[in-house]
Structure 1
Amino acid sequence: MLDSAADALAAASLVAAHLPGGASADPVYGPDGRIPALPADFTPLAIRAVDRILAPASELCDLWGETSDAEEWTRTVTTLRGVLTRAAG
């Protein structure tokens, strides 16, 4: 489950990278090539994924909560959700 959550978060980040206010894909950890335009219906799916990742029962959220970077991680993921939500209208 943990790997799936991390993959979902990475995918949501790539969706947001195409949206106004979205951060560019990381040159080290992101894809090697250019990301093609993504269908608009990916945005609501990305929001649902981020919501599940931020939920109290999320193992990924729980593990990050145990680190010294917990606040920064939560702020980053919450910002990501904001970008996705604004684009979804």
Structure 2
Amino acid sequence: MARMAIALTPEFANWEAALLIAVARGYLEVEIITASPDGEPVTSMGGLKVVPDIAYASLDPAAFDALVIPGGLAWEKGAAPDFTDHVRSFHD
């Protein structure tokens, strides 16, 4: 089974990931794992509170087939975490 990591930030744009998650799980049988900076709950721009499965530090590229990083207010406010190392690891 394919696995997809969704890296959530505080105030993430929940609608950006919602359709992808629904289709991937419902039609493609992809396992979805959500992550937050510290593994603690995050709240989206729309007020949706998500309890993630893991923290960013636990995102092992060898265990996933894809990494999705939704947009949101953290990016606009310049408060988004630095995903550089994660993105490079997944790309490699």
TM-score (norm 1): 0.32
More helix by share: 1
